[in-house]
Structure 1
Amino acid sequence: MSKYKVVVTARSFGKSSTEPFDILEKNGCEVHKIPIEKPLNAKELIPLIKDADALIAGNDKVTKEVIDAGNKLKVISRYGIGYDNVDIKAAKEKGIVVTNTPNTNNNSVADLTIGLMIAIARNIVGANNTVKSEGWGRVLGTEVYKKTIGVIGTGSIGKGVIKRAKGFEMDVLCFDVYPDHEFAEKYGAKYCSMEEILQKSDIITIHVPLMESTKNLIGEKELKMMKNTAFLINAARGGIVNEDALYNALSKNIIAGAALDAVEHEPPVGSPLLKLDNVIITPHIGGYTSTAVNNMGVAAANNVVFVLNNEPGAHIVNN
């Protein structure tokens, strides 16, 4: 008989291999994978976790109400890096451990960032749609080779983007509240102010967590500081870019274009951004590769096992 009940709402958990399920089941866990295709809200989560010992959550809203409903809940294992959707304070007050899975999808997100950069600069999506509509109209694109890229946030993903950008012989400007000068020197990057990045970069890409200090980090003022030929990429979190201000900047050609893998409301039903030709929006697929999915699943499962068995090794974010 299983000792623990583990509810899994992370949509891609175990999708590329059975290894994450095997880890849990070999450690006395009964796994309940919820068949959903969107992040769950609090009302949807509450009945699912009432008798659960652990929750492996994707981008679901794990609010105080959800946490209070988890009478047996011992661990919330975030499947991914960010944990802004989890009420950390409420979890800590109830003695519930919150974990995440850093360094499991950094290569996948960095790869996608470069893909988005090229796609928006060369209007690849628009060109593809034209041909599929039986047209053959061509749109002038922009080269990224030897251009200036501004990287906001130089954690593992930001550093991955910098390494890839050097293959395009790009000049790299970067900003981080905790700069890694040794890394910057090795890869020819220059730490500077946000203002300098905004004013000088041809492409700006965001790789910071969503928190109070980064909410609406890029708004009307910042967008107006950018070149009117510049592109903005956000493969981090929705809410870091003010989407009303972004729509205004894109529709008035204040900047040339934007590519977003994260938006404030997912999916962005009814968003005016969907009507613009100079924006690409992907459905939060940064970490959605077979390698990253397996890495995140294994790490999330191990975090649950470590916490339930009172063993060291879990990556705890609410110590």
Structure 2
Amino acid sequence: MRLTVLTPSFGSYSDSPSARSAQLDIELDYRTENHPKSGQNLIEEISGAEAVLVGLDRMDAEVFAACPGLKVVAKHGAGVDNIDLAAAAEAGVTVVNTPGANAESVADLTLGFLIMGARKIRTAESSLRDGRWEVFFGSQLSGKRLGILGFGRIGRAVAERATGFGLRIAAYDPYVPDDAIAEAGVEPRSLTEVVAESDFLTLHLPGGQEPLLSAELIDSMPQGAGLINAARGGLIDENALISALESGRLSFAALDAFATEPPPADGPLMHAPNLIATPHIGAYSDIANANMGSWAVEDVVRVLQGEDPRFPVS
């Protein structure tokens, strides 16, 4: 069995995925240059492949139509918005992903963002490095309200961590029943209620065609609130975010995902005040990297052997 690997992050921080591949007698065919790939460039790389491991590579109807031998596409991560699932189903291709493999890693980053923004750590450090000795008053977390949009594995992991800081937590998720949220010790609320009532708001939902946080919703956030997005860049109206940072309605925003990646270095977003920005590093930890690669390889083998995968995406 052979697996064509397109994402350069596969096994980059752990030997476990390649070791697991060897155990399962999977030959790894690395095609990781110029990632992410799309269109004819992608077709040329995976022509004749039975199994493909993708990162952000765009698997659309054209690709599936041009690769009739393809049997399984494995996403090195959870989000599958770069894969046309309807086209895959029509072509008879099984799509699998690795949900939860990076949940703890993304939750860790989210809490790091929360503390950095609330205590103005980035601004204070920059000031000190510039030779100043200034006072920076921040927000103590205990007693404050944390809103979580998206209460899947990552949202739950964030809530578990935030509870230890004494935050009052509410959550909204259109796919999770309210009673399931309440069972986790978190108050279920509507989207508008969570946004309007949270001192800190963190996003953990899949992206869509339109931003979830519109200008109207951002304007409804409490004065001086903080906003964190370690999910998908398209969830936020970035122009409205810039305005909210410039006006001071938001005391900080911390972004690990952007509508355009990488974002233009000379664009207005990168020059907005009180912005913490990282290059989509949420899943880049040692354990997450080991889990994503190993779980993906295991499901590829299951599909190629005619078995049901552990993590099918319909």
In the superposition, the TM-score normalised over structure 2's length comes to: 0.92
Matched, 1:245 2:240: yes
* 1:65-99 deviation line (CA, Å, top 9, x unaligned): 22223232111100111101101111111111111
- Partner of residue 296, structure 2: 300
CA contact (8 A) 2:5 2:32 kept: no
Percent identity of the aligned residues?
A: 38
Distance 1:31 1:273, change over 3 A: same
Segments of 5+ residues of structure 1 without an aligned counterpart are: none
Distance 1:247 1:42, change over 3 A: farther
Matched, 1:30 2:27: yes
Q: Alpha carbon RMSD of aligned pairs, Å?
A: 2.0
CA contact (8 A) 1:5 1:51 kept: no
CA contact (8 A) 2:51 2:71 kept: yes
Pick aligned residue for 1:278 from 264, 274, 283: 274
What letter matches 1:314 in structure 2? R
Pick aligned residue for 2:251 from 243, 256, 262: 256
State which drifts further: 147-156 or 250-259.
250-259
For 1:238 and 1:183, how far apart are their aligned partners in 2?
A: 25
- Partner of residue 51, structure 1: 48
Give, in angstroms, the shift of residue 183 of structure 1. 5.0
What letter matches 1:265 in structure 2? T
SS of the residue 1:149 aligns to: strand
- Partner of residue 308, structure 2: 312
Give, in angstroms, the shift of residue 37 of structure 1. 7.1
What letter matches 1:316 in structure 2? P
Give, in angstroms, the shift of residue 262 of structure 1. 1.1
Segments of 5+ residues of structure 2 without an aligned counterpart are: none
CA contact (8 A) 2:151 2:204 kept: yes
Q: Count residues in correspondence.
A: 312
In the superposition, the TM-score normalised over structure 1's length comes to: 0.91
What letter matches 1:184 in structure 2? A
Matched, 1:236 2:231: yes
Give, in angstroms, the shift of residue 173 of structure 1. 1.2
CA contact (8 A) 1:84 1:210 kept: yes
Matched, 1:223 2:221: no
For 1:242 and 1:249, how far apart are their aligned partners in 2?
A: 11
CA contact (8 A) 1:152 1:204 kept: yes
Matched, 1:266 2:264: no
CA contact (8 A) 1:49 1:69 kept: no
* 1:17-45 deviation line (CA, Å, top 9, x unaligned): 33322333444432122344753333432
Distance 1:133 1:62, change over 3 A: farther
Matched, 1:193 2:190: yes
State which drifts further: 7-16 or 216-225.
7-16
CA contact (8 A) 1:154 1:179 kept: no
Give, in angstroms, the shift of residue 160 of structure 1. 0.9
Distance 1:95 1:195, change over 3 A: same
- Partner of residue 177, structure 2: 179
For 2:37 and 2:273, how far apart are their aligned partners in 1?
A: 30
What does 1:71-220 correspond to in 2, within 5 Å? 71-177=68-174, 178-182=176-180, 184-187=182-185, 189-212=186-209, 215-220=210-215
CA contact (8 A) 2:75 2:98 kept: yes
